[in-house]
Structures are given as C-alpha cells and as structure tokens.
Homo-oligomer: A and B are copies of this chain.
Amino acid sequence: MRADAQRNRDQIVAAARVLFTANGVDTPMEEIARAAGVGVGTLYRRFPDRDALVNAVSTDMFQRLAEAITAANASEKSAWAVLQRFLRSWSEFRLGLLQDPMCHGIPAAIEADPELREVRQRWLDLFEDVIQRAQDDGDLRKDVGLLEIATFMNMFIRDERSEVTDRILDVMLDGLRA
C-alpha cells in the first residue's frame, strides 16, 4: 500500500474510533471523513460500507487491549494487580467494544473477518489467563468470569470518563475482590 494511502487509512480508523465511541456507530460517514481530513470517496474506497469500517475499528481496539494486558503482565507481580491495571487502562483508553462483539455470542461479522477474529481471540486468551490466575490466587471471586467483566467494561466505557465513573470502577473492583 502506498505511503499516503496508509496514512489516510490510519487517520480514518483513528477518527472513526473517536467518533464511534463518542457518538455511536451511527455517526455519519461524511463526518468521519471530514474528521479524518479526507473525502467520503476515500473512506468508501478503503471500507466498502459501514460494517467494514466498524470491523477495522474493532480490530484496532482488540489489538490495543491485548497490548494493554501484555504491558500489565510485564510490570505487575500478582494477577490481581494485572487485572486492576488492565481495567484501568481500558477505562483510560475509552475503548468501547462496538456492538458488543465479544460478549453476546459471536456475530457473523467476526466470523467473516479472519484478522478481526484472530486478534480478538488473542486478546480473549490473554484476558482469560489473567482471570484464571487471579482466581487461583484466591484474589478474584469465583462466580464471575470474562463475560461479566467484559460486559461491565463495555457498558462502562460508553459514558464519558469523569470522577464519577472512576469511582464506579473502584466500587466494581472492590466487589470483584474475593
């Protein structure tokens, strides 16, 4: 891919990530294009329809989440500390998982996009591992799992970040403690 095309692609995904998180996946394509500094046509050349763009943003997000866990694994000792740090990173990133692609079954969109599927799976594996270890250590309550935590984060992330939401995350972490 040509250098300028790649740069445009990146700008489009970045703009879409911000706008999708802020205003929902229904944000007008024209607005996304404008925010990315390109014409609509360019956007559509790269992403044939809205779903393709949503998938690209999701892929990007899963990648960032996987990186966040990896980073936390490297710097924290206990699994519980990793989990805490990861969830706080997640909160800071405002990485809303569009259309709940991981919580409520596996939609066709994910099946159809191998790259999305793979990066999502990599993140799930890392996440599952942390949860398992934290439960084995007796730090994380045993009646919750990836599904509960991810679902919570997903609803949580949709609100603007504020002191209030930070406190909610604290409460949730206390509740999760075994």
Contacts and interface: CB of A to CB of B under 8 A. Distances in A.
A48 to B, nearest CB: 14
A155 interface: yes
Nearest to A150: B164
A106 interface: no
Interface stretch (A6-14, A55-63, A139-147): A139-147
A47 B124 CA distance: 46
Given A155-B156, A156-B155, A158-B158, A176 B171 contact: yes
Interface in A54-91: none
Please give the count of copies of this chain that the complex contains: 4
Interface string A136-168: 000001011001100110111011100011011
A159 B151 contact: yes
Interface residues of A, number: 28
A164 B156 CA distance: 15
Nearest to A174: B175
Contacts of A40: none
Nearest to A104: B160
Find the residue from A104, A147, A172, A175 having the highest chain B CB count within 10 A. Answer: A175
A131 to B, nearest CB: 13
A152 B175 CA distance: 14
A171 B156 contact: no
A173 interface: yes
In the A-B complex, list the 10 residue pairs whose CB atoms are closest, starting with the nearest: A175-B175, A171-B175, A174-B175, A155-B155, A152-B168, A148-B167, A147-B164, A151-B164, A155-B159, A172-B175
13 contacts: A100-B159, A103-B164, A141-B171, A143-B167, A147-B164, A148-B168, A151-B168, A155-B158, A155-B159, A170-B175, A171-B176, A172-B175, A174-B174
